[in-house]
Structure 1
Amino acid sequence: NKLALGSIDKQFTISDSEGNTEEQREVKAKPLEIEFASRNSKKHTGETLLSINMGSSLFLYDFKEPESPLELAFQPKYGTIKSHLWFDDEYIMLGFTEGYLVIISTKMQQIGEELYSSHLCRSI
């Protein structure tokens, strides 16, 4: 069991169930939303990832590779990220302020690739 918290001073902290800090890192922008994802496919058994919505980009942190985080940026026409959601172990759905819905893959061979995007409504 882990707890991830973002702070106004552009940092995130990961703590264990006892409250001990396991990781603390600075990121480029204030964390707006944090999601955990567990990969349970044959290739990624029990692998845990953390995604952080930073408004104009998405920060991906792999607990198995903490020194190699990824930051994914998106087309400016989408606006800023309003919310994101993991599904099916390796995909993230993102909703943007300009009414776009985007689905990306987190598979290494497709990392950050937009699999789907649609302009569903006017700006939110």
Structure 2
Amino acid sequence: MKSDELTVNGVRIGGAETEGKEDTQTIDLPSGSRAEVRKGHGRDLMRAQRAAVGGDASAVIFALIAELTRVDGRRIVYEEVLEMDLADVMALQDEVIGENFDRPPQRASQASFNPDSQSRS
């Protein structure tokens, strides 16, 4: 069995052979470092949620940044994101949850407001 076929609780582990073959965006960070952010999958969110003890939403985002990002060609961990310059963190956060990757279309609101339908007293 190849290392990229190993799973723990349904989450693939290993897989160094497939790194770099997924959709990635490369950005220059304000600090001068270069980051590659790959498109995420459900398993990445699951790992980020496990890494963010307590389930704090902002901690999950930081863990997801660490899961999806390589900085200057090397993987980073959650604790490194916590120590990064704020401008770099903001740029990575925008890349991970921002507009650069496909998002599902937002549904239009079913409810409509018509001010003429209000009763007037």
Per the normalisation by structure 2, the TM-score is 0.29
Bigger Rg over Cα: 2
The structure that is helix-richer by fraction is 2
* More relative contact order, 1 or 2 (CA 8 Å, 6+ apart): 2
TM-score (ref. length: structure 1): 0.28
Where is the strand percentage greater, Structure 1 or Structure 2?
Answer: 1
